[in-house]
Amino acid sequence: MENQQTTVINKSRIAYILLGIFLGGLGVHNFYAGYSGKGIAQLLLTVLIGWLVIPAIAVMIWVIIELCTVTTDANGNQMIL
C-alpha cells in the first residue's frame, strides 16, 4: 500500500472578500472558493433578472451575508488571511 500525500491549497479569505465586494453580484467569490452552485445561481440571478431592483438588492444582501459567514472553501479547508 502506497502512502499518498495530498497537498491542500488554502484559499485566501482576503481575496474572497475582495472578490465579493467588487464582483459579488456575479458570484465570482463563490467560484473562487469552489462553491460553483452558489456562483452559478448568483450569476444567473444577476444576468437574467438583475435589472429589476428587488432581485439585485436580494443578491447584494446574499453576498454580504456570505462575506461575513463563510470561512471555509467547498472542500472544508479553512481560508487563511
Task: Render pLDDT for 2-18 as a digit per residue (tens, 0 to 9).
Answer: 777 778 788 999 999 99
Quote the CA–CA distance of 14 and 29 in Å, as a whole number: 11
Q: What is the pTM of this model?
A: 0.85
Top-confidence residue, 1 or 73: 73
CA nearest to 18, candidates 61, 58, 53, 63: 63
Name the residue ranges covered by the structural domains of the chain. Answer: 13-69
- pLDDT score of 5: 79
Question: What φ, ψ does residue 80 adopt, rounded to 5°?
Answer: -100, 160
Average pLDDT of the segment spanning 72-78: 93
Average pLDDT of the segment spanning 33-53: 91
CA nearest to 70, candidates 34, 42, 43, 41: 34
